[in-house]
Chains A and B, each alone.
Chain A
Amino acid sequence: MSANKSIFDAVKNLQEIEETFEMVQILNEEGEIVSPDLDPKLSDDELVELMRRMVFTRILDQRSISLNRQGRLGFYAPTAGQEASQIASHYALEKADWILPGYRDVPQIVWHGVPLSQAFLWSRGHFAGGQSPEGVNVLSPQIIIGAQYVQTAGVALGLQKRGKEAVAVTYTGDGGSSQGDFYEGINFASAFKSPAIFIIQNNQFAISTPRHLQTGAKTLAQKGVAAGIPSIQVDGMDPLAVYMATKEARERAVKGEGPSLIETVCYRYGPHTMAGDDPTRYRTSETDEEWGKKDPIIRFRKYLEAKGLWDETKEEAVITDAKEQIKAAIKEADSVPKQKVTDLISIMHDDNSMPVNLKEQYELYAEKESK
């Protein structure tokens, strides 16, 4: 039998599956609607609000990088380039929805209700950064890549058992889709038909490792096939496509039709984190330039300007507002009292069940701190 003649059509099967995951785009790089039938038809106010949030988030990124360089912020994972993926997906959510973010997904929880000052405290490494206000359904950014996926399956099952009309949404990157917890998370949610939305933000690189070294799969969206869940690959630099995919996944979820997987094809303009990563070691300026043309803010600006909904004055106002809010938030973060060991001990357990070793150590440190 010749090697290239197969009895089973395994190769054809794969090709057929992979061909079904074509990238969906609604708004092209020129700001033109290319798939009118998919247009979410947001109101003028909604479109403007989405743009305001994206511009605000771009400024937040610029200021965060600068504050990090000044030593006024700690851990920071840049977000520029991912505004459509992060902000437009969040824009499709409701207040009742839970967000389980990864370490790069601070903007989503900020727009969900976490005060900016707390986001800054989280970056610096202060426990108050994790004290999200009551009723703001978010976890702190997850550092263990994939853990947020299995936990999302649990939150979604919880929402389902409570009979709530809400979803659990989580994010990981392209590298994260190689983790076991990534697969277990989508598979558990599928088995329980729970209201979860799993988003892979494929920004092409996991630190220095390019997307193609994570898997031979043509798309990351097709990984949903393994769990038997509806999956889609969208242009992650296109706010309308990301919004529409998330909204549709949310509608399916709250109707009891189970979880979905969304791959957003996007790009981070900055380094992986501010902890010494140098993207010029693994990325070319040509690639940066090519993706620069796809910038979600540029194309959305063009779209809104053509509709007469946006201009330079409006954008300047957002930028000024963002800078003022950031300044105030940093000031607020500065005013938060320094952490003491007794603080750390007292947030370990329920007040009524502090273990004896910690009770002893509490006394020891209280004494130390009183001097």
Chain B
Amino acid sequence: MAQMTMIQAITDALRCELKDDENVLVFGEDVGVNGGVFRATEGLQKEFGEGRVFDTPLAESGIGGLAIGLALEGFRPVPEIQFFGFVYEVMDSISGQLARLRYRSGGNLSAPVTIRSPFGGGVHTPEMHSDSLEGLMAQQPGIKVVVPSTPYDAKGLLIASIRDNDPVVFLEHLKLYRSFREEVPEESYTIELGKADVKREGTDLSIITYGAMVHESLKAAEELEKEGHSVEVIDLRTIQPLDIATIIASVEKTNRAIVVQEAQKQAGVAAQVVAEINERAILSLEAPVLRVAAPDTIYPFPQAESVWLPNYKDVVATAKKVLEF
């Protein structure tokens, strides 16, 4: 075991997979000799060579096409989109092409591609770097969407994503890259995609969340405990498909729930979670399921992040509304 930040755990996962499977290729803008703009691919080109870890021209759509073409020749591409705000340039390659390769070939061809991309607020990035656009991906049949919140989860989920025989979008929150360390096994291990994790057990309220909001929710749970409320925090980890069983079991136990996301209220996946609970566990609910989300504006100018981004205080306030309904 070693103490790792999330970014180190990600690099470690890439290293494990590059070592274990010669079909794994890592490529993108500045991921080679530079080791990535966040050092996620640090040292990998040196260790595995330019044939396995390489830079590309600056064109996201081309990167997406490259991944699809390489998959057709039996490779297992792990391309990087430098910031997920740039996904619009490659929406066709991902949602219009990658997602449907197996389907449109009647199951004959496959696209085992894992797209890694950072996103998320709280670090004063310039425009279009921090936007939470996971909701767009989650609406596209054919793609699984993974958002880890801890170093341990990041490594196991990334290895599982790379080994998945269908496309996975793996979103890495910028603020979580180096915010804390955690014990991470040095060997390969996987965490099943589509499985949520109960990060904290409780009996009065379920908080269902993902990404940086997991940590805000855990902080809120501590605050609420001081006031005598036992709060369960569920980290979705995979936001498409949702782990319905874990969500519903928790709600049936606590009878109250909120869903917490960093994305705008009209975006993200919170509405989907609420709908699933309404369809499957309405008779267990003592109160409506409320959402914590950002305002429905464009992502804020950097100086306005602190007043715009949802934080643990918003979680506490919404939790109380539900607890006191």
Report the interface size class on chain B: 35 or more
Docked complex Cα distance between A130 and B51 (Å)? 32
Report whether B141 and A154 are in contact in the complex, using a CB–CB cutoff of 8 Å.
no
Please give, as numbers and ranges, the residues of chain B lying within 8 Å of A184 by CB-CB distance: 57, 59, 61-62, 65
Min CB–CB distance B55 → chain A (angstroms): 9
Q: Which single residue of chain A is at the shortest CB-CB distance from B105?
A: A130
Please give, as numbers and ranges, the residues of chain A lying within 8 Å of B109 by CB-CB distance: 139
Which of A107-160 touch B at CB < 8 Å? 127-132, 134, 139-140, 144, 147, 149-159
Residue among A154, A181, A188, A355 making CB contact with B144, cutoff 8 Å = A355
In the assembled complex, A66 has its CB within 8 A of some CB on chain B: no
Report whether A151 and B97 are in contact in the complex, using a CB–CB cutoff of 8 Å.
yes
Report whether A348 and B92 are in contact in the complex, using a CB–CB cutoff of 8 Å.
no
Residue among B72, B74, B93, B110 making CB contact with A150, cutoff 8 Å = B93
Report whether B166 and A181 are in contact in the complex, using a CB–CB cutoff of 8 Å.
no
Q: Which single residue of chain A is at the shortest CB-CB distance from B54?
A: A192
Min CB–CB distance B277 → chain A (angstroms): 15
Report whether A153 and B62 are in contact in the complex, using a CB–CB cutoff of 8 Å.
yes
Min CB–CB distance A85 → chain B (angstroms): 23
Min CB–CB distance B114 → chain A (angstroms): 13
Report whether B110 and A350 are in contact in the complex, using a CB–CB cutoff of 8 Å.
yes
Q: Which single residue of chain A is at the shortest CB-CB distance from B106?
A: A131
Residue among A128, A180, A348 making CB contact with B61, cutoff 8 Å = A180
Please give, as numbers and ranges, the residues of chain B lying within 8 Å of A147 by CB-CB distance: 65, 92-93, 96-97
Docked complex Cα distance between A187 and B65 (Å)? 12
In the assembled complex, B104 has its CB within 8 A of some CB on chain A: yes
Min CB–CB distance B110 → chain A (angstroms): 7
Min CB–CB distance A322 → chain B (angstroms): 26
Report whether B166 and A349 are in contact in the complex, using a CB–CB cutoff of 8 Å.
yes
Min CB–CB distance B112 → chain A (angstroms): 9
Report whether B102 and A348 are in contact in the complex, using a CB–CB cutoff of 8 Å.
yes
Q: Which single residue of chain B is at the shortest CB-CB distance from A355?
A: B241
Report whether B61 and A181 are in contact in the complex, using a CB–CB cutoff of 8 Å.
yes
Please give, as numbers and ranges, the residues of chain A lying within 8 Å of B59 by CB-CB distance: 184, 187-188
Which of A320-336 touch B at CB < 8 Å? none
Report whether B57 and A154 are in contact in the complex, using a CB–CB cutoff of 8 Å.
no
Residue among A130, A134, A151 making CB contact with B104, cutoff 8 Å = A130
In the assembled complex, A10 has its CB within 8 A of some CB on chain B: no
Which of B59-107 touch A at CB < 8 Å? 59, 61-62, 64-75, 92-93, 96-97, 102-107
In the assembled complex, A217 has its CB within 8 A of some CB on chain B: no
Report whether B65 and A150 are in contact in the complex, using a CB–CB cutoff of 8 Å.
yes
Which of B56, B61, B93 has the largest count of A CB atoms less than 10 A from its CB? B61
Report whether B241 and A356 are in contact in the complex, using a CB–CB cutoff of 8 Å.
yes
In the assembled complex, B204 has its CB within 8 A of some CB on chain A: no
16 residue pairs of the A-B complex, CB under 8 angstroms, read A150-B69, A151-B97, A152-B65, A153-B69, A154-B68, A155-B70, A155-B72, A157-B70, A158-B69, A158-B73, A188-B59, A188-B62, A188-B66, A344-B103, A348-B142, A353-B165
Q: A181-B92, A187-B62 are in contact. List 12 more A-B contacts (CB 8 A).
A: A128-B106, A129-B106, A149-B65, A153-B69, A154-B72, A155-B72, A161-B70, A162-B73, A188-B66, A347-B107, A348-B102, A355-B241
A-B residue pairs, 9 tightest by C-beta: A154-B69, A150-B65, A158-B73, A355-B241, A131-B106, A184-B62, A347-B107, A155-B69, A350-B165
